[in-house]
Amino acid sequence: MIEFDGLTAYLANGRGPGIVVLHEWWGLVPHIRDICDRFAALRFTAVAPDLYHGPTAPNTEPDDADRLLTALDRDRAIGEVAATVAELRRRGCAKVGTIGFCMGGALSLAASAACPVDATVAYYGVWPHSGERSIANPILVHVAEHEEHNWPALPAYFPKWFAGMSNAEVHIYWGTQHAFFNDTRPESYDEAAATLSWDRTVEFLRDAFTTAWRTYRSGVATVAQRA
């Protein structure tokens, strides 16, 4: 763990480009640290800030997680993401991106609108209108088909949300549930979708962190992928 600007964060140093990993409403739990370690194994430098400043909720207790999320000061959290981006740059990361899951997915978008980054990834973000249309860098969004426990309209809304943005790519994973990437939640985890979305994420970040990142198709890329 590292400390900076009043924050505690988990660092997995792959001595490469920087990734800010933003946790779900459960807090900075082992699953998020594992994601950081996976990035480091691919030579990214991943930092996951503790946006709750200590508390976590078991993934079997959504009411506890909801209380933590409700108490979160969104503007403060966006500022803390910006501070984490700055910390990675201080550590020598010439390129820095953000990735987040659920609550963290929304913060990944909102923070990217508020401070310059080189790439933005969001897994099933939950807050609409997070300033996403002002984001100039490449954006990748992963959404489950079934978001009943989050926002049922999300799969239909996200493609419209990013319509006309040539720097944005949206993938919908048919047959999946919200949190399909979280392998600590067997009730929603989908191995095929998790693997496919991870592979897409790594390819996207590698492309975005080069000076010749690929030109996106005009408009949004909505992929009807049955994972």
Which domain CATH number covers 127? 3.40.50.1820
Q: What is the pLDDT of residue 223?
A: 44
Per-residue model confidence (pLDDT) at position 227: 41
Q: What's the alpha-carbon Rg for the chain, to the nearest Å?
A: 16
Can you give the pLDDT of all 227 residues of the chain as single tens digits? 999 999 999 999 999 999 999 999 999 999 999 999 999 999 999 999 999 999 999 998 999 999 999 999 999 999 999 999 999 999 999 999 999 999 999 999 999 999 999 999 999 876 655 567 778 899 999 988 887 665 656 656 666 777 777 888 889 898 998 999 999 999 999 999 999 999 999 999 999 998 644 443 333 444 444 44
Q: What is the pLDDT of residue 195?
A: 97
Measured between its terminal Cα atoms, the distance across the chain in Å is: 35
Residue 180 lies in domain: 2-226
Residue 25 CA to residue 27 CA, distance in Å, equals 5
Number of folded domains in the chain?
1
* Residue 39: predicted pLDDT: 98
List of residues 6+ apart from 52 with CB closer than 8 A: 27, 28, 68, 72
* pTM, full prediction: 0.90
**Token pair of 219 as six digits:** 């408009």
Instruction: Please spell the DSSP secondary structure of the chain, one letter per residue.
Output: -EEETTEEEEEEE-SSSEEEEE--TT-S-HHHHHHHHHHHHTT-EEEEE-TTSS----TT-HHHHHHHHHH--HHHHHHHHHHHHHHHHHTT-SSEEEEEETHHHHHHHHHHHHS--SEEEEES---S-SSGGG--S-EEEEEEEE-TTT-TTHHHHHHHHTTT-TTEEEEEEEEEETTTT-TT-TTT--HHHHHHHHHHHHHHHHHHTSTTPPPPPSS-EEEEEE-
Whether 90 contacts 11, CB under 8 Å:
no
Q: What is the pLDDT of residue 222?
A: 44
